[in-house]
Amino acid sequence: MSIRLPLPPRVHSRQSLRAALGIVLLLPLGACATIRQDEIGVKTRFGRVASGPLQPGAQLLIPGVNAVLRVPSRVVNREVRLEMPTREGLNVSAEVSILYRARPEQVARILEKSGLRYEEDVIIPVFRSAAADVSSRYMAKDLHSGTRSGIERAIKDQMMSVLDARGFEVETVLLKSIRLPADLARSIEEKLEAEQRSEQMRFVLDRERQEAERRTIEATGIRDAWAIIAQGLTPSIISYQSIEAFRELARSPNAKVIVTDGKTPMLLNADSGDDASVVRAAPSGGSASLSAPTAPTPGARRVERPLSPLPPGTP
């Protein structure tokens, strides 16, 4: 059994003093609110907005009387998934980002008119309405083309026509992901493939057309060259070419039979028998050509001798 002894009066006074000091020290801490750097705050009195906007830092409050409501001052990124109707009556699944912020000078009005749940009660409904209204003016394929940026600007402008008066500023609307219906996506892919094949065929046709032009130019150059050569052929040049043909034949080490009328040389290979070939030197080309053996030319003389250059007119 334990017996409690009464404390001296001095002990009671010390404990009361400590408790009072603790209450005095904790009272300012409980009556202080902190607003962060990326926030805007307003002070309320008995639930109604009393002052604001408040700058970042510590704010003194009266417990039970005052409170601080905070609103982000930074740009807020809200992602929304929705079905967007198109002009042809299709629903396109889309993922959209809304970048918006509350104007600092109108925070008190935002809290009075829209409350702290302004994003769910105001921003998102206005966006869904504007997105459906704008997308219904365009075809589904436009969401994947260069018209996409125009759709984003149109949604932003229509949202600002409603949210500007409420103290919000929409910086931009971004169409991040567009998922078309399977049948439409397949038809668009087939169309793109057909366009690619058409471009490839156009390239092939252009290449063949250029090749035809190249060949035409080449043939024209050859024709003109032969026309110039034909104009320059004279009896003297033909005689000179005949002499050159005899010289080419003379350089051969084999024994040959030459049948000539004095103007055009003919060469008969004596070692090949009846199946021998006759080589006639072309007057204009300067080189010999093979032909089947023929009978001697009437009036021509057959001469069998070692091959040597013969001037024109030699019997």
Confidence band (pLDDT; 50, 70, 90) for 107? confident
| The residue to which tokens 């003389």 are assigned | 301
Read off the pLDDT of residues 112-133 as tens digits, 9 standing for 90 and up.
888 888 899 999 999 999 999 9
Rounded to 10 deg, the angle between the 124-135 and 148-163 helix axes is 140
Strands (E), 103-233: 168-179
Read off the pLDDT of residues 46-82 as tens digits, 9 standing for 90 and up.
767 767 677 777 776 677 777 778 888 889 999 999 8
246: its two tokens: 């005899």
pTM for this structure? 0.51
The CA-based angle 305-309-314, given to 5 degrees, is 80
7: its two tokens: 């404390």
Residues 6+ apart with CB under 8 A from 52: 40, 41, 42, 43, 107, 108
What was the pLDDT predicted at 295? 45
Read off the pLDDT of residues 68-77 as tens digits, 9 standing for 90 and up.
788 888 899 9
Query: What is the C-alpha to C-alpha distance for residues 266 and 295, in angstroms, rounded to an integer?
Result: 11
Confidence band (pLDDT; 50, 70, 90) for 218? very high
Question: Terminal CA-to-CA distance of the chain, rounded, Å?
Answer: 169
258: its two tokens: 């030459």
Query: What is the C-alpha to C-alpha distance for residues 38 and 43, in angstroms, rounded to an integer?
Result: 17
CA distances 304 to 108, 171, 202, 238, 262, Å, are 128, 108, 67, 25, 14
Read off the pLDDT of residues 14-45 as tens digits, 9 standing for 90 and up.
666 666 665 555 455 556 777 777 788 787 77
> Comparing 26-35, 91-100, 156-165, 232-241, which segment has the lowest mean pLDDT?
26-35
